[in-house]
Structure 1
Amino acid sequence: MIKKYTCQNGVRIILEQIPTVRSVAIGIWVGTGSRNETPKNNGISHFLEHMFFKGTTSRNAREIAEAFDSIGGQVNAFTSKEYTCYYAKVLDNHASYALSVLADMFFHSTFDEEELEKEKNVVLEEIKMYEDTPDDIVHDLLSQAVYKKHPLGYPILGTEETLMTFTGDTLREYMHNHYTPDRVVISVAGNVDETFIKEVEKWFGSYEGGKRSEEEEQPVFHSNHLSRKKDTEQAHLCIGYEGLPLGDKDIYSFIILNNILGGSMSSRLFQEVREQRGLAYSVFSYHTSYLDHGMLTIYGGTGANQLDALYETIQTTLASMKETGITTKELQNSKEQLKGSLMLSLESTNSRMSRNGKNELLLRKHRTLDEIVESIDRVSLESVNRVIERVFTDQFAVALISPDGQLPTTLS
């Protein structure tokens, strides 16, 4: 049973009591990410996330790490395009202590100048590491192609140039204006009862934040082609189509479409590209749904001399799907896959905390497992075929990283 409580200052608390486990997961979800940045401060959401671990007024960086290690707990954080999350997973008898340390990091981080300079170097190494994984950065390149100068096209890590401009003051100002109570959700899942809500409120229920502009620029899909020449062993290809935003009435049909196309080992792309033709080791598709936009991405990596064959095979697979739609067997198999992965994913307190936190932050509503299963079961051949027509148009974007930077012949 999920309990929701809204503090006087607007912070929302979501608690799911699971008495059959001995762990508790606590997540602080903040509705700000790289899409809330500007060209000048790109990367600040991610850098701020790093600096939360570098010391507070009462604990240095080592003591924060030891606070969780000493109780056998885990602590971590991540930044996405639309939100940032700080979370911990601990044994139930350490839940109050873990909450107090997370609150200390949230409210009392010092952003010490010496630590700041060290962490800039750490993030710089993270950017370099990312640059060394072309199968990762090609997805960022696709976002740039699709969204151009819109913030959804910015890299989450930022750039070396923007990174060097961050100071303690810029971090404090960004936090004051973006970590506002109305954008914060505290999600708790595990073996704690409702009294824990009061503990969370004690820490988070009275702070105030600044005012930030509520107006966010509407993203537009651009059918752009971008390529980069890089000394790699493979050509890394991404093809993007405009997808569906969160909460769209066809979202479950869209999820099932993606699963049939490239979301599993029995998918059409995997079977056609890898099993039948042996063109790639890695080929898949995935969908990204934002509040007001979405994208379906197809990725494949192959030798540069096989790039044309890979591209043509993907396009042929899509053309076949558009022409004949999906089969009843594919629909049924995909439904069972989705229901199975949904159930299995909710067997940990961490995943339940994440699901509840994201649902509250982005959708402000929670659906039971039965309701979700019902929505999956309601998906029909007609609804999936309707989404195929809606998504796979002539408007698509392409990103490529390869040794020669040459796009597939039919695109050039």
Structure 2
Amino acid sequence: MYRKFKLSNGTRIIMEKIPHVKSISLGIWVNVGSVDETAENNGITHFIEHMLFKGTKNRSAKDIAAAIDDIGGQINAFTGKECTCYYAKVLDSHINIAVDVLSDMVFNSSLDEKDIEKEKNVVLEEISMYEDSPEENAHDLLFKTIYQEDSLGYPILGTRDIISNLTRDKLIEYMEKFYVPENMVISVAGNFDEKYLIDMLEEKIVGTGKKENIHLIKSKNKANFNKEIGVKYKDIEQLHLCIGLESFSMGSENVYPLLVMNTIFGGSMSSRLFQNIREDKGLAYSVFSYPTSYRNSGIFTIYAGINPKQLERVCSSIKEEINLIKNKGLRKEELLKAKEQLKGNYILGLEGTSSRMMGIGKSELLLNRVYTQKEVLDKIDNIEMDHIKKVIDKIFSKDNMSVSLVGNIDNEINIKQYLY
């Protein structure tokens, strides 16, 4: 059962007590991601995430790592399109250390000038590593192609020029705007004493002096979905193909029917897409589909890593599966199996405290509510064929399609003739 609290400065707390485990996972979530950036500071959110590990007024970077390593715990962070999370997993007897270290990092970071310059090189190497991954390139290019100038299409890592020109003043200004109590959620899952934890959070979080900022505005209009084709030439063996179709935003009633449909279409090894293109025809090693939902937009992505000579056949096979599901829908037994598969994946994903902490934290931060396990399972069980048909009709339209291609591709190829 989930419990919610608010600290005296307005920071939201969402927690789930699991008495039978010996671990506890804690995350400090900030409602800021690359979508909040501009063309002038793209990459700053991710860079700040790096910098908060580089030392505080009380600890060096090595002290931060050692504090958690010494107790056998784990500490990490990630930056997404819409949120940033700093998290730790420790034995329940060491929750005080996790709270102390995470709160120190997030609220007392020193942002030392020398560390900033060193970390720029680290992030630039991360960008280089990403550029060496053509599959990642294809997915990022798809977002850039679809959203163009909208910040949802910005790369999370940013660009070399912008990262190289970040200053301490810019980091501080950005943090003062977004790293405020009303824009944060602390999520906790595991074995803990509720009063002890709340008192400790009140001391460590509120004691930092951060006050509620009622002037932060996070509203944004729906991101425009542009139907374009993006191509990036790379002299590599494989061709990486992404097809993006306009989908549903976070919180939509269609999200769960979409998940069921995707399970059947391309979301698993037994899916139609995988069985047709890989197993039956041997045209690709990796082929799959997945939905992504944001507050103001959504994408349904089909990906295939292929031999460039097989592009036409793979596109034809994808179009074949799209036409089949559009014209004939799903069989009843497929729907039942997909619902069971989705429920099984969901329940198995809740086996650890980390996944539970992630689930409740992100949901509270972005949706301002958390669905119980029963509510989620009921949503899946209540999906009918009519719901699936509505999703299929919305998603699979040739007037609703963008494409990205990364690899050794002939610029004369007209991808539209294969897919449209």
**Global fold match (TM > 0.5):** yes
Report the Cα distance in structure 2 between the residues aligned to 1:232 and 1:328, rounded to whole angstroms. 43
Alignment of 1:387-398 (within 5 A): 387-394=391-398, 395-398=400-403
Identify the match of residue 353 of structure 2 among 333, 349, 353.
Answer: 349
Determine if contact 2:29/2:361 at 8 Å carries over to the other structure. Answer: yes
Determine if contact 1:308/1:409 at 8 Å carries over to the other structure. Answer: no
Alignment of 1:149-168 (within 5 A): 149-168=149-168
Which AA in structure 1 matches 2:198?
Answer: I
Q: Please say which of residues 397-406 and 302-311 is displaced more in the overlay.
A: 397-406
Which AA in structure 1 matches 2:211?
Answer: E
Aligned to 2:28: 28
Determine if contact 2:8/2:202 at 8 Å carries over to the other structure. Answer: no
Alignment of 1:1-400 (within 5 A): 1-195=1-195, 196-205=197-206, 207-208=210-211, 211-394=215-398, 395-400=400-405
TM-score (norm 2): 0.96
Q: Deviations over 1:205-255 (max 9, x none)?
A: 351266444342430111110001101110100000011111111211011
Closer, same or farther: CA 26–158 of 1 in aligned 2, 3 Å: same
Q: Give how far 1:118 is off.
A: 1.0
Q: Deviations over 1:113-136 (max 9, x none)?
A: 111111110110100000001011
Report the Cα distance in structure 2 between the residues aligned to 1:366 and 1:217, rounded to whole angstroms. 24
Q: Give how far 1:363 is off.
A: 1.1
Closer, same or farther: CA 219–20 of 1 in aligned 2, 3 Å: same
Q: Give how far 1:108 is off.
A: 1.0
Determine if contact 2:9/2:212 at 8 Å carries over to the other structure. Answer: no
Report the Cα distance in structure 1 between the residues aligned to 2:167 and 2:67, rounded to whole angstroms. 27
Q: Give how far 1:408 is off.
A: 5.3
Q: Give how far 1:365 is off.
A: 1.3
Which AA in structure 1 matches 2:385?
Answer: L
Report the Cα distance in structure 2 between the residues aligned to 1:139 and 1:31, rounded to whole angstroms. 23
Report the Cα distance in structure 1 between the residues aligned to 2:113 and 2:210, rounded to whole angstroms. 25
Q: Give how far 1:359 is off.
A: 1.0
Report the Cα distance in structure 2 between the residues aligned to 1:281 and 1:32, rounded to whole angstroms. 36
Determine if contact 1:227/1:407 at 8 Å carries over to the other structure. Answer: no
Report the Cα distance in structure 1 between the residues aligned to 2:350 and 2:49, rounded to whole angstroms. 26
Determine if contact 1:308/1:408 at 8 Å carries over to the other structure. Answer: no
Q: Deviations over 1:140-179 (max 9, x none)?
A: 0000111010000000000001101211111111000011
Determine if contact 1:176/1:209 at 8 Å carries over to the other structure. Answer: no
Q: Give how far 1:98 is off.
A: 1.1
Closer, same or farther: CA 127–151 of 1 in aligned 2, 3 Å: same
Q: Please say which of residues 190-199 and 283-292 is displaced more in the overlay.
A: 190-199
Q: Give how far 1:410 is off.
A: 4.6
Report the Cα distance in structure 1 between the residues aligned to 2:362 and 2:109, rounded to whole angstroms. 24
TM-score (norm 1): 0.98
What percentage of residue pairs aligned between the two structures are identical? 47
**Structure 1 gaps, min length 5:** none
Closer, same or farther: CA 38–405 of 1 in aligned 2, 3 Å: farther
Aligned to 2:406: 401
Report the Cα distance in structure 1 between the residues aligned to 2:267 and 2:219, rounded to whole angstroms. 34
The aligned length equals 412
Determine if contact 1:229/1:403 at 8 Å carries over to the other structure. Answer: yes
Report the Cα distance in structure 1 between the residues aligned to 2:16 and 2:327, rounded to whole angstroms. 45
Which AA in structure 1 matches 2:409?
Answer: D
Determine if contact 1:227/1:405 at 8 Å carries over to the other structure. Answer: no
CA RMSD of aligned residues (A): 1.3
Closer, same or farther: CA 276–255 of 1 in aligned 2, 3 Å: same
Determine if contact 2:260/2:338 at 8 Å carries over to the other structure. Answer: yes
Which AA in structure 2 matches 1:169?
Answer: D
Which AA in structure 2 matches 1:385?
Answer: K
Closer, same or farther: CA 209–113 of 1 in aligned 2, 3 Å: farther
Determine if contact 2:241/2:305 at 8 Å carries over to the other structure. Answer: yes
Report the Cα distance in structure 2 between the residues aligned to 1:386 and 1:102, rounded to whole angstroms. 44
Q: Deviations over 1:288-332 (max 9, x none)?
A: 000121110000010111111111111111011101001111111
Q: Give how far 1:348 is off.
A: 0.3
Q: Give how far 1:203 is off.
A: 1.9
Q: Please say which of residues 401-410 and 98-107 is displaced more in the overlay.
A: 401-410
Report the Cα distance in structure 2 between the residues aligned to 1:227 and 1:327, rounded to whole angstroms. 37
Determine if contact 2:221/2:296 at 8 Å carries over to the other structure. Answer: no
Q: Deviations over 1:84-106 (max 9, x none)?
A: 00000000111011100111101
Secondary structure, aligned partner of 1:281: strand
Which AA in structure 2 matches 1:404?
Answer: I
Q: Give how far 1:198 is off.
A: 2.2
Q: Give how far 1:341 is off.
A: 0.6
**Structure 2 gaps, min length 5:** none
Which AA in structure 2 matches 1:61?
Answer: A
Which AA in structure 1 matches 2:241?
Answer: L
Q: Give how far 1:202 is off.
A: 1.9
Q: Please say which of residues 62-71 and 216-225 is displaced more in the overlay.
A: 216-225
